[in-house]
Structure 1
Amino acid sequence: MDGRIAIEDVRPAVGGGAFPAKAVTGEPVSVRATVWHEGHAALGAEVVLRGPSGPPRTVPLRLADPGLDRWAATVVADAPGPWTFQVVAWRDPWATWTAGLRAKLDAGLTGLDNELEEGARLLDRAAGPAGDGTERPGTPVGRGRLLRSAAAALRRAGRPPAARAEAALSGSVQAAMAEAAPRELVTHGPVRRLRVDRPRARYGSWYEFFPRSTGGRRADGTPVHGTLRTAVRELPRIAAMGFDVVYLPPVHPIGTVHRKGRDNALTAAPGDVGSPWAVGSADGGHDAVHPDLGTVEDFVHFVERARAHGLEVALDLALQCAPDHPWVTEHPEWFSHRPDGSIAYAENPPKKYQDIYPLDFDNAPESLYAEILRIVRLWIDRGVRIFRVDNPHTKPAAFWSRLIDEIGREFPDVFFLAEAFTRPAVLKGLARRGFAQSYTYFTWRETKRELTEYLEELVADGDFLRPNFFVNTPDILPVHLQTGGPGAFAVRAALAATLSPSWGVYAGYELYEGEPLRATGNCEEYAHSEKYELRPRDWAAARAAGRSLEPWLTLLNSVRRAHPALQQLRTLRFHATDNDALIAYSKTDPATGDTVLCVVGLTPDAPEKGTVTLDAEGPRLPDGPVTDAVTGERLILTRRFSVGTDPLSTPARILTWSRK
């Protein structure tokens, strides 16, 4: 900061300004700062917004809280890429003079010749010498004449002070001086960074599936290995459910050395397909497509067909290698070696991953970085604009900062999702370093208190952390889905889809797949895990039998698309209920006024009833009826109302209205 005026506590500021805050194009960003100066002189302030191209823009700051000297403005970035903002403040002699003169005139004081001359000189400074062309471009041509005329009136001796000041205090002169008034002691605050992504980085519905499980079955019931071409047949169904993003596990060749068998068996049987996360074999590495899935051309075709259905493709970026990955022999320096010379495989004690070698980012960091950068660019060239990163917390934070910044400058529409099921400091640290979205601990938050406290924490971190609430993953089958029956699946989907702007499901969720590998010890591994075997599914038969959650997922995604309020996180507010098995919360879209109030029953196997009391500072009630997006019912909403849910018919009540 330079200058005499104090500019403090500028926000948003992530890590004290060490990291950029986050926004998406078109999203209002609230800039706040404490601005003060000795004495009682009036101040002015503005925020200067600079984007990746084009001239800077200025937005006036207003004094939002005079008692705390807190100023605020809303800025909007209109293009993805790196942005900066900076608060500039100054002493405003004209506003100071105007306030002082009005006070003296109101008090009936006389003998104000000095005060009136001070005002005339300020007007002269703003007007510039007559005929010198100093008027700013785009301002009224007569502004200089208007200000000089007001200055002359102030100097007109022999008239009462109020009459002499009348022109200077007029609305037209005040408006002109708002543009042209002199600025004194101009002070520049710290430059803060803003990482701006496209809207999909904040809002979207994700669907994860394995292309290799789309080949169907032979006459004897044995699965047929699917391809990227057979996977295209899944796209219409996924799009019809209202999903926006199709996420694919790694599509690369899978290692054969130490390949895992079914249910993570140490020894693979003949025909076992192995884990896609054991990347690399004699068929190629991270730049190749598994030959059983097809070719690079087939992958590009899949991306194009997805796009035709309104879907984006997110690809898994799994920076690890199978023992027979080409890098192991071509670049042994990229791996950690044990004292006996062998390469250390991955471990997360007591778990062991003998089929995976982690990369060592310290032995030869520059060459490894260059190769990973090449890989990411290669898949971008093949149509990928979203990368879901496997275990980013096992790679250096500085590596991610560098990679994400470089890719962001070159491809502003590309973003990364962190699968960071790890310690809170690490999860948040990765978000600060550029990950646009993060998996979260939502999967393990079940009670009203747990959900409320965790979501309030996420809202507080909203300047840099964007959640993606996956209800399940190939690695995580939460205990509540193992024991809660269909109601648990419906309730968890309702919570994820309405609490978080981004949410996701892993295929099989709509079929209520919940059988654990072991029924004891809080095991979260699926039996017959798709990580190690093919799992073709008969979606049509499930629908025909009435055992499919597809209609509920479709409704949720439809409501999310129709209501911008559900695409927000910062406006989330919880409301009191007299039944802890009911949770109530609202969201409002600042731009449109669209408002959604959700009440979800947390009991998976029984209806719940209770009374909701809306927070006094919560959403403004509409003049007319609201609509329940689940039942279609129209009702008059009051600050206190009774409501009921049923996990099998109405797992949630989603009341919608607009305040504008």
Structure 2
Amino acid sequence: MIGRLGIDEVTPVIDDGRYPSKAVAGEHIPIGATIWREGHEALAAAIVWRGPGPDGSRDLLPMSPSDPGADRWTATAVPTRPGMWTYRIEAWGDPWATWRRGLTAKLDDGRPAEALANELESGARLLERHAPGDEDDRAWLLAAAGALRDEGAKLADRVGPALDDRTTRAVSAAPLRELLTRGKEHEIWVDRPLALAGAWYEMFPRSTGGRDQSGQPLHGSFATAAAQLPRLARMGFDVVYLPPIHPIGETHRKGRDNALSAAPGDVGSPWAIGSAAGGHDAVHPGLGTLADFESFVGVARRLGLEVALDLALQCSPDHPWVTSHPQWFTRRPDGTVAFAENPPKAYQDIYPLDFDNDPVGLYEELLRVVLFWVERGVRIFRVDNPHTKPRDFWHWLIRTVKNSQPDVLFLAEAFTRPAVLKGLAKAGFTQSYTYFTWRTGKEELTEYLTELAGSVDFLRPNFFVNTPDILPAHLQQGSPAVFASRAALAATLSPTWGVYSGFELYEGEALEVGGEEYAHSEKYELRPRDFAAAAAGGDSLEAWITTLNRLRRAFPALRGLRTLRFHPIAHDALLAFSKTDPAGDDAVLCVVCLDPDREAAGRLVLNGPLPGAHPDGTVDAVDAVTGERVRLGGTTVRFAPGGPVARIFTWSNRG
């Protein structure tokens, strides 16, 4: 239905409202619309903002023109708790504002009282219509109406009370809302803050067992992995992510470096899930028991860490489901079960699930698996290859879990086509892996981050600098400074970033030239590391990662993406960008050197006025790492090999 007033181009709305947009508790959400009507009469608008549940709070948030020439109106909403929030825009004619604007224009034109008789009487009648509100306001408004009718008074005295700020406040408190037009109701799913911003660390518990006296790796357990958690907490990480912890199949087990045949003692890939010891609701016997896992989760929680568990919906040939539920797998013409393939790659040790033969049974079983781990303290799932499963399954599963467990988060490992990556985000995934891993140049980083910043209402990026599957070329060929630069980019550009274990030790040996697989990949063998010795010898990035995470916690602006703005700096190897925190006082401007092994210097020009800037557009800032005080704007920023790879400047955005 079309109302008398136009309410168009409402934001945030995802695919015409097919999916809810996203936010987190405490986030400042800009809500906007194009609102218009015929003629020149004034308008007013507000957002009806309602919290989760049938008894959710209801607020009316006034909107104001943000671009009058384009009839654009905006307001900011701040949800206070997780759950499904809704908003609806209402617009109405504002006869008082219309009257006031018209009278002011005629007074400025010098018209006498005799020529304004109708205007003065119309104003008095409007004030009487507004008067039934607060008792004190009522008395004031009626007195102002009487003054407008006082023909014996001077014109300035007649109109003065009506044009007073107190009258404006009283009228605004009880607007007449003529021609009220209501827009559609829209949904915003609100998560807890960790859904937007956090620092992740990926580790294999089985690689934490150290070495025996002969130097051979020992299989780690949840207990040995827990002993490494204090180091991660000191580095400022929020989430420790574990690859699959389930029993690993024996049939077609892969050997080291993805060899087709395993040698005696080879541990196999954790993603080949299932054996006689159990499936997705069991733990690998070498890691310990379910009780040991719950103890690991408890240790992490006491250190301020959350455990993210890999949700890999696939099976080894030895998984119990293969015999108990054969309908969940695809059969080839010769009767054998189809294994996973991504030609030319073949994964003989993994059977994909078939979602078409028994969707009801399979959906319910996978929901049971997720809730099984939720009951054991897991509130975050990193989902392996979600783009190989139906979108409607993910929409159903995530919505079903969140309806009863709204604090559960899902990260999509969606290294896939843009449409699929975005489609999965819209379907409900809390966060998404992105193409940051392969974006290295100034122009492509600027273009990609601008795209991501424009998608924040449904897609939250997680910038992993590396993964067990992805060793990008710049890490294979780069110096320690390149590792430091990539960490700085990920930690400051994205609200959430991640590190796979070994990155801090500058691991970069590839299996083959031109590939992205690690040599001696931890996916197929134990890889114990001596982090303490590396840090003591100065051959570690731990200190820099700790600094980055400390600054992210100190300055909330770094934990957002909505306010990202790039600034011109005259060097192709320098990237400059700023962020501000609408909920606080801090603003941050980062300059990162993309080629830190060479000298680079460039004149920084601020892109438009920044919050907290001087009248000339410059900003007084402090280098958050060195403590140096600088004035930004028209200044030259320099980098030299062996020095810092990034400058992180901060100041108050309120001046």
Question: TM-score, normalising length from structure 1?
Answer: 0.94
Question: Per the alignment, do residues 624 and 267 of structure 1 end up closer, same or farther by CA in structure 2, a change over 3 Å counting?
Answer: closer
- Structure 1 CA distance for aligned equivalents of residues 415 and 319 of structure 2: 26
- Structure 1 CA distance for aligned equivalents of residues 148 and 621 of structure 2: 58
Contact kept in structure 2, 1:255 and 1:280, CA below 8 Å:
yes
Which one of the candidate residues 38, 62, 82 is aligned to 1:80? 82
Write the mapping of 1:590-629 to structure 2, written as runs, cut at 5 A. Answer: 590-618=582-610, 620-621=612-613, 626-629=621-624
Q: Give secondary structure in 2 for the equivalent of 1:609.
A: strand
1:242 and 2:245 aligned: no
Q: Give secondary structure in 1 for the equivalent of 2:396.
A: helix
- Deviation of 1:156 after TM superposition, in Å, equals 5.2
- Structure 2 CA distance for aligned equivalents of residues 338 and 426 of structure 1: 27
1:119 and 2:123 aligned: yes
- Deviation of 1:617 after TM superposition, in Å, equals 3.5
Partner of 1:514: 508
Partner of 1:658: 652
Partner of 2:248: 254
- Deviation of 1:616 after TM superposition, in Å, equals 3.2
Which one of the candidate residues 202, 205, 228 is aligned to 2:199? 205
- Structure 1 CA distance for aligned equivalents of residues 576 and 516 of structure 2: 28
- Structure 2 CA distance for aligned equivalents of residues 101 and 394 of structure 1: 65
- Deviation of 1:389 after TM superposition, in Å, equals 0.6
Q: Give secondary structure in 2 for the equivalent of 1:281.
A: coil
Write the mapping of 1:480-519 to structure 2, written as runs, cut at 5 A. Answer: 480-518=474-512
Contact kept in structure 2, 1:91 and 1:185, CA below 8 Å:
yes
1:342 and 2:336 aligned: yes
Superposed CA deviations along residues 555-604 of structure 1, whole A, max 9, x for unmatched, are 11111111112112122222222221222222222222312222222225
Which one of the candidate residues 174, 186, 189 is aligned to 1:195? 189
Amino acid at match of 2:330: S
Superposed CA deviations along residues 362-393 of structure 1, whole A, max 9, x for unmatched, are 21111111111111111111111111111111
- Structure 2 CA distance for aligned equivalents of residues 272 and 543 of structure 1: 30
1:397 and 2:401 aligned: no
Superposed CA deviations along residues 470-499 of structure 1, whole A, max 9, x for unmatched, are 010000011111111222211111111111
- Structure 2 CA distance for aligned equivalents of residues 72 and 460 of structure 1: 17
Q: Give secondary structure in 1 for the equivalent of 2:583.
A: coil
- Deviation of 1:605 after TM superposition, in Å, equals 3.0
- Deviation of 1:618 after TM superposition, in Å, equals 4.4
- Structure 1 CA distance for aligned equivalents of residues 285 and 492 of structure 2: 40
- Structure 2 CA distance for aligned equivalents of residues 585 and 112 of structure 1: 55
Which one of the candidate residues 295, 305, 314 is aligned to 2:308? 314
Amino acid at match of 1:628: D
- Structure 1: segments with no counterpart, 5+ residues: 129-134
Contact kept in structure 1, 2:621 and 2:632, CA below 8 Å:
no
Question: Per the alignment, do residues 29 and 350 of structure 1 end up closer, same or farther by CA in structure 2, a change over 3 Å counting?
Answer: same
Contact kept in structure 2, 1:600 and 1:645, CA below 8 Å:
no
With 469-478 and 322-331 compared, the bigger mean Cα shift is at 322-331
Question: Per the alignment, do residues 611 and 177 of structure 1 end up closer, same or farther by CA in structure 2, a change over 3 Å counting?
Answer: closer
- Deviation of 1:308 after TM superposition, in Å, equals 0.9
1:547 and 2:549 aligned: no
Amino acid at match of 1:477: L
- Structure 1 CA distance for aligned equivalents of residues 324 and 165 of structure 2: 76
Q: Give secondary structure in 2 for the equivalent of 1:225.
A: coil
- Deviation of 1:528 after TM superposition, in Å, equals 0.8
Contact kept in structure 1, 2:580 and 2:653, CA below 8 Å:
no
- Deviation of 1:152 after TM superposition, in Å, equals 4.4
- Structure 2 CA distance for aligned equivalents of residues 465 and 591 of structure 1: 21
With 91-100 and 421-430 compared, the bigger mean Cα shift is at 91-100
Which one of the candidate residues 249, 258, 263 is aligned to 1:264? 258
Write the mapping of 1:427-576 to structure 2, written as runs, cut at 5 A. Answer: 427-518=421-512, 520=513, 522-576=514-568
Partner of 1:132: none
Partner of 2:111: 108
Question: Per the alignment, do residues 485 and 150 of structure 1 end up closer, same or farther by CA in structure 2, a change over 3 Å counting?
Answer: closer
Partner of 2:68: 66
- Structure 1 CA distance for aligned equivalents of residues 448 and 167 of structure 2: 53
- Structure 1 CA distance for aligned equivalents of residues 160 and 570 of structure 2: 61
Partner of 2:577: 585
- Structure 1 CA distance for aligned equivalents of residues 600 and 143 of structure 2: 74
Contact kept in structure 2, 1:621 and 1:638, CA below 8 Å:
no
- Deviation of 1:609 after TM superposition, in Å, equals 2.9
Contact kept in structure 2, 1:621 and 1:637, CA below 8 Å:
no
Contact kept in structure 1, 2:612 and 2:651, CA below 8 Å:
no
1:56 and 2:51 aligned: no
- Structure 1 CA distance for aligned equivalents of residues 140 and 651 of structure 2: 49
- Deviation of 1:607 after TM superposition, in Å, equals 3.5
Superposed CA deviations along residues 517-558 of structure 1, whole A, max 9, x for unmatched, are 11x2x2100111100111111112212322111111111111
Partner of 1:8: 8
Superposed CA deviations along residues 144-177 of structure 1, whole A, max 9, x for unmatched, are 3333444444455666766554443333333211
Superposed CA deviations along residues 326-366 of structure 1, whole A, max 9, x for unmatched, are 11111112122212222211111111111111111121111
- Deviation of 1:114 after TM superposition, in Å, equals 4.1
- Structure 1 CA distance for aligned equivalents of residues 141 and 627 of structure 2: 61
Partner of 1:131: none
Partner of 1:39: 39
- Deviation of 1:43 after TM superposition, in Å, equals 0.9
Contact kept in structure 2, 1:105 and 1:162, CA below 8 Å:
no
Contact kept in structure 2, 1:112 and 1:161, CA below 8 Å:
no
- Deviation of 1:646 after TM superposition, in Å, equals 3.9
- Deviation of 1:237 after TM superposition, in Å, equals 0.8
Q: Give secondary structure in 2 for the equivalent of 1:190.
A: strand
Question: Per the alignment, do residues 57 and 619 of structure 1 end up closer, same or farther by CA in structure 2, a change over 3 Å counting?
Answer: closer
Amino acid at match of 1:5: L
Amino acid at match of 1:80: P
1:27 and 2:21 aligned: no
Alpha carbon RMSD of aligned pairs, Å?
2.0
Contact kept in structure 2, 1:484 and 1:604, CA below 8 Å:
no
Which one of the candidate residues 222, 233, 242 is aligned to 2:227? 233
- Structure 2 CA distance for aligned equivalents of residues 445 and 70 of structure 1: 35
Contact kept in structure 2, 1:388 and 1:416, CA below 8 Å:
yes
With 42-51 and 642-651 compared, the bigger mean Cα shift is at 642-651
Contact kept in structure 2, 1:603 and 1:647, CA below 8 Å:
no
Amino acid at match of 1:591: A
- Structure 1 CA distance for aligned equivalents of residues 487 and 107 of structure 2: 66
Contact kept in structure 2, 1:517 and 1:528, CA below 8 Å:
yes
Amino acid at match of 1:172: R
Amino acid at match of 1:324: D
- Structure 2: segments with no counterpart, 5+ residues: none
- Structure 2 CA distance for aligned equivalents of residues 92 and 2 of structure 1: 19
- Deviation of 1:444 after TM superposition, in Å, equals 0.5
Question: Per the alignment, do residues 647 and 230 of structure 1 end up closer, same or farther by CA in structure 2, a change over 3 Å counting?
Answer: farther
Q: How many equivalent residue pairs?
A: 647
Which one of the candidate residues 350, 361, 369 is aligned to 1:356? 350
Q: Give secondary structure in 2 for the equivalent of 1:90.
A: strand
Contact kept in structure 1, 2:212 and 2:218, CA below 8 Å:
yes
Question: Per the alignment, do residues 162 and 581 of structure 1 end up closer, same or farther by CA in structure 2, a change over 3 Å counting?
Answer: closer
Q: Give secondary structure in 1 for the equivalent of 2:227.
A: helix
Amino acid at match of 1:61: M
Contact kept in structure 2, 1:2 and 1:189, CA below 8 Å:
no
Contact kept in structure 2, 1:82 and 1:409, CA below 8 Å:
no
Partner of 1:277: 271
Superposed CA deviations along residues 243-283 of structure 1, whole A, max 9, x for unmatched, are 11100011111111111111111111121111111111111
Question: Per the alignment, do residues 264 and 647 of structure 1 end up closer, same or farther by CA in structure 2, a change over 3 Å counting?
Answer: farther
- Deviation of 1:315 after TM superposition, in Å, equals 0.7
Could you tell me the percent identity over the aligned residues? 61
Question: Per the alignment, do residues 653 and 113 of structure 1 end up closer, same or farther by CA in structure 2, a change over 3 Å counting?
Answer: closer
